[in-house]
Amino acid sequence: MKQTPEVKRADFLGSWERQDQMPHTELPEFAFIGRSNVGKSSLINMLCGRKSLAHTSSTPGKTQTLNLFKIDNKLQFCDLPGYGYAKVSKKQRAVFSKMISHYLQARPNLMCLFVLIDLRIEPQEIDIEFINSTGEAGIPMALIGTKSDKLNSTELQKNIEAIEQKLYEYWEELPPFFVSSSEKGIGKSEILDFINKYSKNK
Ligand SMILES: Nc1nc2c(ncn2[C@@H]2O[C@H](COP(=O)(O)OP(=O)(O)OP(=O)(O)O)[C@@H](O)[C@H]2O)c(=O)[nH]1
Ligand SMILES: [Mg+2]
């Protein structure tokens, strides 16, 4: 019988404002990005089976730094600030954008970036642009649709197709796509399996 993957131990290592200040490690790292409030921190908690390892909030703009977590002493997760939150100042947005792009360009042990997309709404231009530029930069990527608990199966199917259709305007082949709900634990096994396989193959 196939075993369900579980995280046994997750430690918060700290928060940094710049990639070059972060501790160096050989451990493979997986990062989580997406619009503010899409559910990045909640997803990290769900994957780790913990309630408040990463700080979450119903108010967008909660995560403002690069946050590292060590997972089972064999890999790391990085919780990133969200992009595209209109209510933070232009200056602050530029700070986040620089923080994120430096991290993505320069982090030597970054294995794969998970780009989170809110499944409840139609494809957002800012997400498509981010996915396209990340793809062009050659950063390995997988997509995770979030908050699937808020939709029935027809709506879910429709919204996933709308996202895929939009991406097919630019891509011949899409990155892996996972459906998740941090509320319900949906997608946990699939995403952890992917992470385990991915870090072993590198
Ligand atoms: N229904 C539902 N709500 C969710 C889910 N994931 C996150 N949320 C809620 O969405 C809000 C934002 O979650 P966070 O995990 O803080 O989002 P984030 O992407 O880390 O946000 P920032 O750090 O502000 O960029 C919170 O109120 C969560 O409870 C989910 O799968 N289902
Ligand atoms: Mg967050």
- Give tens-digit pLDDT for 23-34: 999 999 999 999
The count of domains in the chain is 1
In the reported structure, the alpha carbon of residue 150 is separated from the centroid of ligand 1 by a whole-number distance in angstroms of 12
Instruction: Please check whether residue 3 lies inside any domain of the structure.
Output: no
Ligand 1 binding pocket includes 60 (Cβ within 6 Å): yes
SS3 assignment for the chain: CCCCCCCCCEEEEEEECCHHHCCCCCCCEEEEEEECCCCHHHHHHHHHCCCCCCCCCCCCCCCCCEEEEEECCCEEEEECCCECCCCCCHHHHHHHHHHHHHHHHHCCCEEEEEEEEECCCCCCHHHHHHHHHHHHCCCCEEEEEECHHHCCHHHHHHHHHHHHHHHHCCCCCCCCEEECECCCCECHHHHHHHHHHHHHHC
Residue 140 has pLDDT above 70, yes or no: yes
Domain containing 39 equals: 10-196
Q: pTM for the complete prediction?
A: 0.96
In a domain, 1, yes or no: no
Residue of the nearest CA to atom 13 in ligand 1?
A: 39
CATH of the domain at 168: 3.40.50.300
Higher pLDDT, 200 or 53: 53
Whether residue 55 is contained in a domain is answered as yes
Residue 96 has pLDDT above 90, yes or no: no
pLDDT of residue 63: 86
Beta carbon of 39 within 6 Å of any ligand 1 atom? yes
In a domain? residue 52: yes
